[in-house]
C-alpha cells in the first residue's frame, strides 16, 4: 500500500523515515480553516482538511492504480497555553510575543493526525483522526534570550515559535509525553494506528 504524507514539513518527513516508512510527499493546497475552539479539535479538524484535500487531488488526477489502496497522512500541530492557541508565527514580533508568554511556564503541544485510506474512489474507505498531547516546561528566558533565539530563524514555520529539536532545546526544562509529538508527528501512535489499515508494514 502506498503511503502519502500530506505535509511539506521536513521534520515530519524525517520522523517517518526514522521509523522505516516508505512514503511520497504531496502537499495539501486546502485552506486551513477551523471553527473549533479547543486545541484537540483544532488539530484533528485541520489534519483532516489536509488529508482529505490530498486524497481528493489523487482521485481527481487519477494517480491511483485501479484497485490499489493507498493511505494519506495529514497532520497539524498547535501549542496551547492559558486557553490561547498558538500556531505558526506570522512575523518576528509575533514570535517574540509567543515566546514571552511561554517562557518559564508549562504549556501543551497538540498534534492531530488523520488517516484517509482508499483506492481512488470519490470517498475514502476509512477516515480516522486522533491526537496526542505533550506537556512542555520552559526555563525562564530573558528578553535578550528571546530576541537572540528569534534572530536564529529557528522559530519560523513552527507552532508556538520554537523547535524543541533545535537551538531552543537549551530552554526546555522537561516534557511529559511523546517527544516526537512536539517535533510534529507522534510516530509511535501513528504506526500503531496505521497497522489497523495496512496489511504490510
Residue 171 DSSP symbol: G
Please answer whether residues 6 and 24 qualify as being in contact, where contact means their C-beta atoms are separated by less than 8 angstroms: no
**Given the residues 76, 106, 154, 157, the one annotated as active site:** 76
Say how far apart CA 38 and CA 171 lie, in whole Å.
26
User: What is the DSSP pairing of strand 24-25 with strand 2-5?
Assistant: parallel
Q: Is 76 annotated as catalytic?
A: yes
Length, in residues, of the chain: 201
Q: Is 158 exposed, middle or buried (0-12, 13-18, 19+ CB in 10 A)?
A: buried
Query: In 3D, which of 95, 78, 70, 68 has the Cα closest to residue 32?
Result: 78
> Residues 6 or more apart from 43 whose CB is under 8 A from it?
76, 77, 78, 110, 111, 112, 131
Q: What is the DSSP string of 15-56?
A: HHHHTT---EE----S-------SHHHHHHHHHHHHHHHHHH
Please answer whether residues 144 and 135 qualify as being in contact, where contact means their C-beta atoms are separated by less than 8 angstroms: no
Catalytic residues: 76
Amino acid at each position: 500500500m502506498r503511503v502519502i504524507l500530506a505535509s511539506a514539513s521536513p521534520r515530519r518527513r524525517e520522523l517517518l523515515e526514522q521509523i522505516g516508512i516508505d512514503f511520497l510527499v504531496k502537499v495539501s493546497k486546502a485552506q486551513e480553516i477551523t471553527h473549533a475552539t479547543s486545541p484537540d479539535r483544532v488539530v484533528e479538524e485541520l489534519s483532516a482538511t489536509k488529508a482529505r484535500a490530498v486524497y481528493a487531488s489523487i482521485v481527481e488526477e487519477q494517480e491511483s492504480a485501479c484497485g490499489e489502496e493507498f493511505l494519506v497522512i495529514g497532520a497539524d500541530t498547535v501549542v496551547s497555553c492559558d486557553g490561547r492557541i498558538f500556531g505558526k508565527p506570522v512575523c518576528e514580533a509575533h514570535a517574540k510575543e509567543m515566546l514571552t508568554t511561554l517562557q518559564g511556564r508549562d504549556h501543551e503541544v497538540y498534534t492531530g493526525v488523520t488517516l484517509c485510506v482508499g483506492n481512488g474512489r470519490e470517498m475514502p474507505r476509512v477516515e480516522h483522526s486522533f491526537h496526542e498531547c505533550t506537556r512542555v516546561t520552559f526555563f525562564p528566558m530573558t528578553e535578550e534570550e528571546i530576541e537572540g533565539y528569534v534572530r536564529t530563524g529557528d522559530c519560523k514555520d513552527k507552532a508556538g515559535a520554537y523547535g524543541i529539536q533545535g537551538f531552543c532545546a537549551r530552554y526546555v526544562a522537561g516534557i511529559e509525553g511523546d517527544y516526537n509529538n512536539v517535533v510534529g508527528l507522534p510516530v509511535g501512535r501513528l504506526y500503531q494506528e496505521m497497522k489497523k489499515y495496512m496489511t504490510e508494514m
